[in-house]
Amino acid sequence: MPGPLSGIRIVELAGLGPCPFAAMVLADMGADVVTVVRAESVIGGGPPRPSMELTNRGKRSVGVNLKVPQGVEVVLKMIESADALVEGFRPGVAERLGVGPQVCLERNSQLIYGRMTGWGQDGPYATMAGHDINYIALAGALHAIGRKGDNPVPPLNLIGDFGGGGMLLAFGVVCGVLEASRSGKGQVVDAAMVDGSALLTTMIHSMMAIGFWEDQKGVNLLDGAAHFYDTYETSDGKWISIGSIEKQFYAQLLELTGLEATELPSQMDRSNWPVLKERLGEIFKSKTRAQWCEIMDGTDVCFAPVLSMSEAPQHPHNVHRKTFVEIEGIAQPAPAPRFSRTPGEVSRPPAMAGQDTDAVLRDFGFSKEDVAELHETGAVA
């Protein structure tokens, strides 16, 4: 069966990080995503081969020169039959290229125009350069991540670029397309990574409001301060994770570590967390990671081994769930979430830049003669 977004057509103006990820998620769910890349990035010669840029999986690629009027017209004609366009330029760049929201919505009044930026389309920081680390810093998320007394720790670029950025852009586009199907009117989706990163901290703000969270890192329930919610090194230099928050899960933790019969202070007495963490640390370092898996797998301790990215695809649970797939010899995360009737899938490996130019243009209504002329003028590649 086709994916849940089958029949939805999306034009992506190629960029970096969160915007390609958002378009990948939509392609995984069955949308027809066409990525418009710069004509000068197209390398000719030889048979097409899969790209290593995994966020371009499931998409087709068209090489267009947006510096010439004919190239701009190609994109505008494409969006006439598209449901959405997504772009990740700095504010004002798309307008200067001639493909901003006003002109696009004039061509297609039902178009959803998705915009991905770090700071948003307006505000004092809007024109500044930035990266994930900066956006999550301004959102208040980075300050909360790390050990007490240490520097804040960048959590890769997962929160700003992909969680607060790309995932919310994809959500916004789907919301917009759904609403346009009822109203017949398009609109602009302003997805800013600083906004999305702040949104992801909503639960922590509620915990602060009731006095259950201190506004500093490394002293709270979920930031590694608690002995029952942290990672521990094992005797073979590997790591395990423990998340025994609830009383019944904590009781199992004490039972399986041999601390059940020991007189211990209250679980939630924060003054004793460092001492209890030291005791657990000694216990966990007495066995290998595999031995702890044998003891704790299948229990309600809230336990899992800390796997590397190369180990994760091999774990029995991930194998059973098909959490990872292998395409053209490259292991990668499978589409998510799961649908019982219209499952998502990776329909094709990532295309090389401009690999599908001619075929896509014909799909969008350009004649064979039109395509030949566009090649001659250098408008496409």
The CATH number that applies at residue 273 is: 3.30.1540.10
For residue 165, being part of any structural domain is answered with: yes
Query: Do 283 and 156 lie in a common domain?
Result: no
Query: Do 314 and 327 lie in a common domain?
Result: no
> Which of 28, 32, 132, 161 is flagged as catalytic?
161
Q: What digits encode the pLDDT tens for the residues 61-86?
A: 999 999 999 999 999 999 999 999 99
Mean pLDDT over the full length of the chain: 96
Average pLDDT of the segment spanning 212-225: 96
Helices marked H in 101-191: 101-107, 132-139, 168-183
For residue 206, being part of any structural domain is answered with: no
Query: Do 24 and 150 lie in a common domain?
Result: yes
For residue 80, being part of any structural domain is answered with: yes
Whole domain around residue 293: which residue ranges? 229-319
Number of domains in the chain: 2
Query: Do 154 and 35 lie in a common domain?
Result: yes
Query: Do 236 and 297 lie in a common domain?
Result: yes
- Rounded to two decimals, the pTM is 0.94
For residue 45, what pLDDT is reported? 62
How far apart are alpha carbons 131 and 257 in whole angstroms? 42
For residue 371, being part of any structural domain is answered with: yes
For residue 308, being part of any structural domain is answered with: yes
For residue 49, what pLDDT is reported? 66
Per-residue b or e along 229-257, where b marks 16 or more CB atoms closer than 10 Å to that residue's CB: bbebebeeebbbebbbeeeebbebbbebb
Token duo for residue 260? 């059940």
Q: Quote helix, strand, coil % in the chain, to nearest 5.
A: 40, 15, 45
For residue 50, what pLDDT is reported? 67
Asked if 90 and 61 touch (Cβ cutoff 8 Å), the reply is no
Of 319, 338, 357, at which residue does a domain stop?
A: 319
Query: Do 23 and 61 lie in a common domain?
Result: yes
Q: How many CB atoms lie within 10 A of CB 278?
A: 11
3-state secondary structure of 110: coil
Query: Do 187 and 147 lie in a common domain?
Result: yes
Asked if 28 is an active-site residue, the reply is no
For residue 224, being part of any structural domain is answered with: no
Query: Do 315 and 346 lie in a common domain?
Result: no
> Which of 131, 143, 315, 375 is flagged as catalytic?
131
The amino acid occupying position 185 is K
Asked if 317 is an active-site residue, the reply is no
Query: Do 233 and 183 lie in a common domain?
Result: no
pLDDT reading at 24 higher than 80: yes
How far apart are alpha carbons 114 and 110 in whole angstroms? 13
Query: Do 89 and 126 lie in a common domain?
Result: yes
CATH number of the domain at 63, please: 3.40.50.10540
HSE of 264 in the Cβ direction (CA atoms, 13 Å)?
24
Query: Do 171 and 271 lie in a common domain?
Result: no
Query: Do 98 and 165 lie in a common domain?
Result: yes
